[in-house]
Structure 1
Amino acid sequence: MNENDLRQLIKTAPERGQRAFYDKYFNYVYTIVYAKLKCYAKPEDIDECVGDVFAHCFFYFDKQEEINGDLKAFAAAVARNKAVDTYRKVSRHKERNVSIDDTEEMVSEENVAESAETIEMRQLLYDKVSELGEPDSTIIIQKYYYGRSSKEIARIVELSSDNVRARCSRAVKKLRELLMQAGFAR
């Protein structure tokens, strides 16, 4: 089902349209939310966030007389925004209290500088992968983060597996150039 058919279905038969939208974009939305929250939130928080994404989308569809624009990009934007909201909510409620009596025993074996550098490097990599645009960023994340095959990725991004392999190869070269321009050299 292409985007125009899906838009039409959402307007003419909202229940079926919403179900089709959910089925088509669930993996995509889950990937975005999971990538943003995996280190910070519990699995149930991630699942709740994904549900919030679709609830927001469906509420938006109900309000609109006509749905314009790319539905995939819309779903991605809502997913990113809801993930940020969930991150803020989760980080606000985490307990960070330390008893004054325990401070003597608190010695971190973690190298703070190395840890900060790793976090910064991961953020840079994520930003540069995002700059690749769709579907290249999804292909790279699915291949190298989730370890999915070209055939599995092809189903997610709705391309042929040969096309996925070609796009992946080009995306890796482009990503390498973007990282070099950002001053990342290894």
Structure 2
Amino acid sequence: MSQDPERAPRRDAVRNRARLLDAARKTFAEHGLDVPLEEVARTAGVSRTTLYRNFATREELAATVFEDNVAWIEERAAELTGRPSAVVQLFDFVLDLQFAHGGIAHMLSQAGASWFSSLAGRTAAAFVPLLEAGRAEGVVRPDVFVCDVILAYQMAEGAMHDAEGDAGEENRKRIRAMLHRSLFL
């Protein structure tokens, strides 16, 4: 008896995949993208075999996790279009995602990597029209482009790691203020 390739996946397989994605979000946020995949599987309550049956590589798992973040970024950019200072609001939205979930800067800096290139490109594309509008409004420094925004997220990631002993919220406020001064008028 052969299996139908069009058949929907079993409910337990769907549930295991969802558990793996939830566990990956949690462990990536807490321990970074280099967390052992065994820890992701343990947190999900599944075997390593189940993890690898769903995601062949760490990059595939991370890209799948970041897919949700990129979809949120695109949705937020669409909501903000036409609003004054929309680019600042989108910048802060993504920065808050980075503070909460971690790894966004890594995803954006890996634009050449196969799993991340389309995600990084989609994120950059969400910023382009808002950056152009922000420049026209006099909100964005005239010499700021998408590559500068991406670099700002990488700087924020580094600053968070360098200041782990600082109070979290105060540190995030300082980082946000520093990045705003470098990008916006």
After TM superposition, the score normalised by the length of structure 1 is 0.26
| Bigger-Rg structure (1/2) | 1
Higher RCO structure (Cα 8 Å, ≥6 apart): 2
